[in-house]
Amino acid sequence: MDKERLERLRKTTGVHLAMEAKETLRQMEEDFPVHPAAMQYFYEQFRIAYGSGGANEDGRKRVGTLCVQVPEELVRAAGAVPVRLCSGAHAFDQVGAEFLPAKSCSLMKATLGMLSLRSTAFSGTLDLVVNPTTCDQKKKAGELLEEFGYRVYNLEMPASRDSEEAREYWHRSVKNFGAALERTTGVRITKQRLADAIRATGLARAAYRRLHGLQQSRQALIRGTDAMLVTNAYFFDDLDRWTGAVNALADELEDRQDRSVFVAGKHAARILFTGSPPVFPNLKLPLLIEQAGGVIVADEVCSSSRLLYDLAAYDEQALYDMVPAVADRALKPCTCPVFSSSQDRIRRLLDLAQTFSADGVVYQTIAGCMPYDQEQRTVGRALAAANIPLLLVETDYGPDDHGQLSTRVEAFIESLRGKARKRA
Amino acid sequence: MNAVKRFLNNGDINRFRFWFQVAAFGLLIYGGFLAVDLGNSLPAFSCVFAESRAGACYLYPLQHQVNMPWAQFLGGRGVGFAVGLATFILFFILFNKAWCGYACPLGTVQDWVSKVRTALGIRFSLYSERTFRRLKGIKYLLLALLVLLPLGISNSLVGAPKLPHDLATAYCMICPGRTVLPIFTGDISQLAIDFSSKTMTVLTGLGMAITGIFFAGSFVKRRFFCLFCPMSALQYAFSKAGLLRLTKIGAKCTRCGNCSRVCDVGIREIADDVTSKNIVQDDCMMCFKCVAACPEEKCLTASFLGIPVYEATVEGFANRARRRNVHG
């Protein structure tokens, strides 16, 4: 790409991105007026990140990550800041469409599209991009990223996570990754540094668990879209500040619970959201669900619960025990469909549906995502066997299918009305 | 009631266990000085060779009691055997395998050796799954020998000649409990090879070698000896009747592996088995470190007589993580 064209592309994409972000935020804030006051912090974070531009920079090295399987504790212990790069912007999607195969999923096109522009306003300066070998599209992204001029670390991951061999391979892989991080930042990962990182991320995750637990409330205390924005902010926000903001939100929700302030009626259909991740600003499907009168009470997606749910524990405060602990945390409970078995994901969905009293499940597949598409079969069968209604949706980041989708979603929510009433 | 439950679930089981073990060690090894006598059917290595013990490990009387002709099993001596076994079972089912994790002096010694190792910053070693499966059968072999050898002294087993009397307490002669535990009472006389007969020379020689292996093994491997312990094998036969139980709700499990990683004996089923409710394996010592490491609400539960006494909770997990850096 010649310089002039790149500059033009950056500029127009920036304008489109800002419009997109503004529209999503507008829908979130205006369509549902009874937000907790603590949500303002998160809206503001997105307004800054997508409006005035400029990612948080504080002199520390920044390590971009492409999937949830990157053990963030190691990145932090090495003195760097992890930044999740997966993008949900249609503006970037269109940039990526220029050089990626037509059948690539929107998330890939958007993420690589964003990175191809090499604009610090979008992703900040990145000292390293870590690309776990998850799905085929991500796997092949490494070379492209190198072409764009990034330093790339391909974090090799096993295709299954049940066998001891897979675990050993992963542990070795993570150990090497730690060494690569040390080379990048020049900071040694000591046991104290790693213990601090595990503790700080553990506190963030514990804060998320509080929020997650509050979503079990029989009448919804928070919109699912709001909760998704909270977890999406974790992609780029300062760790301790984020933890504080989530705890403040949880405090407020607990207070609202005592005062019986809810964001949805008793009969609102409770939805469990699963499938391809809804990443800001592409909250199209979650917003449609809640605009149709449903409320998302739980999710099983890698931009929300899968990103933050799991907690690492170790026995001995030493690297030989803590590194495997964070490696296991990132791999073993991960229900990503790239792994050979879908059984853990099914168990997780059934448990979530039960503990969160979900009336139905919405399964989003972003067009082009083979693993999620293929897992629809086994997941669908298991949900049917458990008598849980399921809506399968294939969509992308574009606005074209909005009308058609809203009809389908409304019909689904409507069909759950009887069930919701019986439950309430 | 809820406040008590919350207090317990938020607790740090490791600290509690450390001090409980110290107290149990003191009682079982030095209780004799205070004239404490818990009988001689204890389901823990409260070794008879430690003079000031407060009670005796059941394996010693067991070997004596089965050392009689078949016919006598139906007579008075048979009753003695039955009473001994019944007492053992009653003691055992009270605390189930927590005898291993909380009371067994030999287990406690291994945990202290591990403490020395961690203080030196030396890593532990782990068995691969295959090695683990192969080795865990040894304790059943030892248990079988422990019963068959004394039986073979008084009886001719499958037509073989009767065995020499020196094999009467053959297991004790090779058990590291006999050599290690008396040291704590100032008695090092067991650290010797008995040359009085060929059998004793071999047995006590083996015992000395095993003592060496015991220290070296437990230095590199947490609870090294427990994988081979015949007491553990004997206990497991009655574990299902235990009043203290460890249960798992598989649906809550994410198979994150925290429980299995912190497990001193290296049990994998605790993380991978999502169908069994009673999750106690033969190697389990019911230390409940797994419960403390589990971040899933009520996924793992230790209960006594059906009353939960220690449950995995998100709050408890977070509290322990928060305190972690203070206590190291």
Helix or strand holding residue B15 (H, E): helix B13-30
Q: How close A312 comes to chain B (CA, Å)?
A: 7
Choose the mutation target among A208, A316, A345 for the interface with B, i.e. most B CBs under 10 Å: A316
Q: How far apart are the C-alpha atoms of A9 and B33, rounded to whole Å? A: 87
Q: Say if A316 is an interface residue toward chain B (CB within 8 Å).
A: yes
Q: How close B215 comes to chain A (CA, Å)?
A: 20
Range of the domain at A408: 3-31+43-52+61-423
Report the CATH number that the domain containing residue B292 is assigned in CATH: 3.30.70
**What are the 10-residue block averages of pLDDT along chain A, 424 residues in total?**
88 93 92 88 92 67 95 97 95 96 96 92 88 95 95 96 94 98 97 95 96 96 96 95 98 97 94 97 96 96 96 95 97 96 96 97 97 96 97 96 96 94 85
pLDDT category at B324 given cuts 50, 70, 90 is confident
Instruction: For the beta carbon of residue B88, count every other beta carbon within 10 angstroms.
Output: 24
pLDDT of residue B210: 97
Is residue B325 predicted with pLDDT exceeding 90? no
Domain assignment present for B119: no
Q: Say if A329 is an interface residue toward chain B (CB within 8 Å).
A: yes
Q: Is A342 helix (H, G, I), strand (E, B) or coil?
A: coil
Domain assignment present for B277: yes
B70, exposed or middle or buried, with CB in 10 Å at 0-12, 13-18, 19+? exposed
Sign of CA dihedral B251, B256, B262, B266: positive
Domain assignment present for B209: no
Is residue B43 predicted with pLDDT exceeding 60? yes
What CA dihedral angle connects B30, B35, B36 and B39, to 10 degrees?
110
Helix or strand holding residue B309 (H, E): strand B307-311
Domain assignment present for B3: no
A289, exposed or middle or buried, with CB in 10 Å at 0-12, 13-18, 19+? buried
pLDDT of residue A394: 97
Please check whether residue A270 is in contact with residue A294, taking contact to mean a CB–CB distance below 8 angstroms: yes
pLDDT of residue A58: 74
Q: Do B293 and A313 touch (CB under 8 A)?
A: yes
The per-residue pLDDT for range A95-114, each reduced to its tens digit, is: 999 999 999 999 999 999 99
pLDDT of residue B328: 43
For B256, the closest of A310, A316, A324 (CB atoms) is A310
pLDDT of residue B139: 97
Q: Do B321 and A310 touch (CB under 8 A)?
A: no
Q: Give the DSSP letter string of A137-175.
A: HHHTHHHHHHHHT--EEEE---S-SSSHHHHHHHHHHHH
E-strand ranges in A303-347 read none
DSSP 8-state code for residue A52: I
Give the chain A residue whose CA is nearest to the CA of B327.
A317
Range of the domain at B254: 242-327
pLDDT of residue A386: 97
Q: How close A172 comes to chain B (CA, Å)?
A: 15
Please check whether residue B170 is in contact with residue B200, taking contact to mean a CB–CB distance below 8 angstroms: no
Domain assignment present for B279: yes
Instruction: For the beta carbon of residue A125, count every other beta carbon within 10 angstroms.
Output: 11
For A199, the closest of B272, B294, B321 (CB atoms) is B321
Please check whether residue A347 is in contact with residue B251, taking contact to mean a CB–CB distance below 8 angstroms: yes
Please check whether residue A194 is in contact with residue A316, taking contact to mean a CB–CB distance below 8 angstroms: no
Give the chain B residue whose CA is nearest to the CA of A350.
B251
pLDDT of residue B322: 87
Is residue B327 predicted with pLDDT exceeding 50? no
Q: How far apart are the C-alpha atoms of A417 and A268, rounded to whole Å? A: 8
Q: Do B321 and A203 touch (CB under 8 A)?
A: yes
Domain assignment present for A331: yes
Domain assignment present for B254: yes
Percent of chain B with pLDDT over 90: 95
The per-residue pLDDT for range B228-267, each reduced to its tens digit, is: 999 999 999 999 999 999 999 999 999 999 999 999 999 9
pLDDT of residue A3: 87
Q: Do B258 and A325 touch (CB under 8 A)?
A: yes
Tokens of A111: 């993420």
Q: Do B314 and A206 touch (CB under 8 A)?
A: yes
Number of domains in chain B: 1
Nearest partner of A303 among A278, A285, A331, judged by Cα: A278
Q: Please state the length of chain B.
A: 328
Find the mean pLDDT for residues B165-176: 95
The per-residue pLDDT for range B113-162, each reduced to its tens digit, is: 999 999 999 999 999 999 999 999 999 999 999 999 999 999 998 888 99
Is the pTM of the predicted complex or chain greater than 0.80?
A: yes
The per-residue pLDDT for range B183-239, each reduced to its tens digit, is: 999 999 999 999 999 999 999 999 999 999 999 999 999 999 999 999 999 999 999
Q: How far apart are the C-alpha atoms of A401 and A407, rounded to whole Å? A: 10
Alpha helices in A163-280 (DSSP H): 164-185, 191-214, 224-233, 239-258
Domain assignment present for A36: no
Number of domains in chain A: 1
Mean pLDDT of chain B: 94
From chain B, pick out residues whose CB is under 8 angstroms from the CB of A329. Answer: 256, 258
pLDDT of residue A1: 62
Q: How close B254 comes to chain A (CA, Å)?
A: 5
Please check whether residue B49 is in contact with residue B182, taking contact to mean a CB–CB distance below 8 angstroms: yes
pLDDT of residue B13: 94
Q: How far apart are the C-alpha atoms of A120 and A123, rounded to whole Å? A: 5
Domain assignment present for B60: no
pLDDT of residue B285: 97
Q: How close A194 comes to chain B (CA, Å)?
A: 11
pLDDT of residue A2: 83
Domain assignment present for A246: yes
Q: Do B295 and A328 touch (CB under 8 A)?
A: no
Domain assignment present for A37: no
Q: How close B289 comes to chain A (CA, Å)?
A: 9
pLDDT of residue A55: 55
Please check whether residue B85 is in contact with residue B64, taking contact to mean a CB–CB distance below 8 angstroms: no
Domain assignment present for A38: no
For B129, the closest of A164, A347, A351 (CB atoms) is A164
- Bridge-partner residues for A217, per DSSP? none
